[in-house]
Structure 1
């Protein structure tokens, strides 16, 4: 029996004491976690916790396990939106299937949970657009998924929006570049699977009233083509328009969540032709800037919202002091005087229900709502207290950090 795990860290070594020689179905329940609202799987899947971290274990045929282990490792190195792989156990006694180990995706939710939680605010359109962004990113990287579905995807809140992550890559294939036929075949498979899953939601009375599952699923190809065209098309324009047209295109791509690699601009008497190489790594422009200024590691939309609040606070400081405030000073003061007090105000029993940056984003939204009602700015302290009492306290514990899941065991 062999157990391979990926550095860095000692996570893999800490799991070596588990009973890898036994079938997953026979493992002692005391070793396992019951993760609520997880997706449906055709394989045996179990969850374990070690020092506050949670890992998913999937029993699967060894060739598929090795294939998925290698692919997920590549995806992680390239920044593709997928779960992070830790290890694989092979050559198990009695010809048993291998076990693939991945890290639990913090604050993630299955599609069923998105629509079953009382505070659900995501629309079906938002879910479909999020799926399409994930599929386009994979296709740009030469990844044929082969099993694109809501069940094989996990979703995370990102400043009110959604971010999608691939969970299951056992059928995925990697190519230097996908043909149009490969992309459209993958899209057809996604349309069929998503349609069936939406029908299942409707049968369980979880789908919003008036939503036609088949109509929504049939909209996937059009949504996909619109996004694919936006991120891959060449543009032709007059040379005099060069400066602002290039900047406009790059800004649009960033807003859609794509980074830009090489920009090729070819000029001729007929005009300028712009070709943009769109990178498929996770969006990072705002994340990198926020990390540089504050050391906070958050998702892209969260970073954009936090940066806007930081800039607003800097302007407030300059107005109050009557002098220019350096960026470093403003960032430090915002972190200690604005952001951290909100995060620290969350009671211990509610910690972990949402990511700290998501909590801060929602407090900003709540403050705006209360101020609109009052006709004046109610202030950060009152807004935070009201949000914790009336919103966060009603957020189910099921969307939680692994440390909270581990606390249940």
Structure 2
């Protein structure tokens, strides 16, 4: 223990209390949080420490430092990835036997590995939404110059995002950050993603966790189609007649609809000035996220932010406040709509989903029962109905403490 070394941007003193002299697979139950774990080539455990849940992965020293630095770099670029906390080396048993180093990361709350999502029957279209989320993640990483080198569902965590899913990188062992990626690097990542996804879905079918009628080849091919269409929309050069300058705005709007902001455009004309070419130069994901963050201070997922902005705009129209400053209207919307809706859910059930996801699902449920009953159901009634008929039967997505992966209900309405 005297040789133990902790490398961290900010050392958490409570880390010293963990049994580093014991192999990770033998750690006692009283320090572990029984969260669902994905498939990993390394031993991974979740631990409860100082009111937080951390992920600890036993790994070689060189690889641990490499992954730690890659994750830190991704964090500085606001990439969707887990947050690294420390690398711990110099571990030995009381008998002097050397133990592998470990990488410690923060557990991403409300996230689940794909096998937990499939632990009970899941529809093929939901599998498609996971693939869509992974494709968006891969495009975002490639735009940042990150070559993954090991793209798979197993190396990804998923969080709900207003009925869809948001994907996060959780394993960066083979990753490399470059100024720009070559077409060959992107192609290799994409082909690896397709191959791994097909294999993982076949494994689920063999374990009777995915319906045998699902065409896993077609689902695997979906990531290629989704990735290539999104990459083209974000990067291709578009040419048009100079009289059609409205197409610049249309291009920006399409990018915004995909959740991207355009920070800079390269616009050129030909010699005669008759043809204009446009190419986005800086595109960042999170267009709606940044809007809702600026207006309300809420840090939510992209689709959740889009849904919240739609409701905020409806509130603005209903209260006839289109001419007022949006920040003041958003403040009142928080006090009069969003916060009361979330607080109307019994406290013991609020931890089942993130507040923004609860709000989204209440709106969905209100629309559904209003259609059923052919009347405008009040929000208070909709919250009661949603709580009793939907949320009460949901698993706790924040922690899943004290439950094994096999016992987790699939996240499907």
Fold equivalence (TM over 0.5):
yes
The equivalent of 1:80 in structure 2 is 79
1:206 Cα deviation from its structure 2 partner: 2.5
Q: Determine if contact 1:119/1:395 at 8 Å carries over to the other structure.
A: no
Q: Which moved more, 1:381-390 or 1:184-193?
A: 184-193
Structure 2 residue aligned with 1:337:
336
The match for 1:247 is 249
1:31 is matched with 31
1:191 deviates by 1.5
Query: What SS does the corresponding residue of 1:308 show, helix, strand or coil?
Result: helix
* 1:185-200 correspondence to structure 2 within 5 Å: 185-200=188-203
- 2:118 match: 115
Deviation at 1:216, TM superposition (A): 2.1
Structure 1 residues 2 and 208: alpha-carbon distance in aligned structure 2, compared to 1, 3 A threshold: same
**What residue number does 1:222 align with?**
225
1:278 to partner: Cα distance: 4.1
The whole-number CA distance in structure 2 between the counterparts of 1:31 and 1:197 is 31
Alignment of 1:98-177 (within 5 A): 98-116=101-119, 123-177=126-180
1:275 corresponds in structure 2 to 279
Aligned partners of 2:382, 2:253: CA distance in 1, in Å?
A: 33
- 1:260 aligns to 2:262 (yes or no): yes
User: Per-residue deviation at 1:332?
Assistant: 2.3
**What is the distance in 1 between the residues matched to 2:325 and 2:195?**
54
Match of 1:300 among 302, 310, 318: 302
Task: Report the TM-score, using the length of structure 2 for normalisation.
Answer: 0.90
RMSD of Structure 2 on Structure 1 (CA): 2.2
Shift of 1:232: 1.1
- Mark the CA change 1:222 to 1:293 in structure 2 (over 3 Å): closer, same or farther: closer
State the distance in 1 between where 2:323 and 2:223 align.
49
Tell me which of 289, 297, 311 is aligned to 1:309.
Answer: 311
User: What is the alpha-carbon distance in structure 2 between the residues aligned to residue 218 and residue 325 of structure 1?
Assistant: 48
Residues 184-220 of structure 1: per-residue CA shift (max 9 Å, x gap): 1122211111111010121222324532112322343
Q: By how many angstroms is 1:120 displaced?
A: 6.8
Contact 2:119–2:209 (Cα < 8 Å) also in 1: yes
Aligned equivalents of 1:366 and 1:336: distance in 2?
A: 21
Residue by residue, what CA displacement relative to the aligned partner does 1:115-166 show, whole Å, maximum 9, x if unpaired?
3357879522222221111111111222111110001101111111111111
Contact 1:53 1:406 in 2 (8 A): no
In structure 1, what is the Cα distance between the partners aligned to 2:51 and 2:5?
Answer: 25
CA contact (8 A) 1:52 1:406 kept: no
Deviation, structure 1 residue 174: 1.8
Match of 1:95 in 2: 98
Instruction: Decide whether the 8 Å contact of 1:54 with 1:406 is kept in 2.
Output: no
The 8 Å contact of residues 231 and 278 in structure 1, kept in 2 or not, is answered as no
- 1:63-78 alignment runs, 5 A limit: 63-78=62-77
How far apart, CA to CA, are the structure 2 residues paired with 1:381 and 1:209? 42
66 and 324 in structure 1: CA distance in 2 versus 1, 3 angstrom threshold: closer
Distance between the aligned counterparts of 1:118 and 1:309, measured in 2? 33
Partner Cα separation in structure 2 for residue 118 and residue 376 of structure 1: 34
Report which stretch shifted further, 114-123 or 21-30. 114-123
Distance in 1 (CA, whole Å) between partners of 2:146 and 2:340 is 43
The match for 2:17 is 17
| Residue matched to 1:347 | 346
8 A Cα contact 2:128 2:222, kept in partner: no
Question: Residues 121 and 209 of structure 2 are in contact (CA less than 8 Å); yes or no, is this contact kept in structure 1?
Answer: no
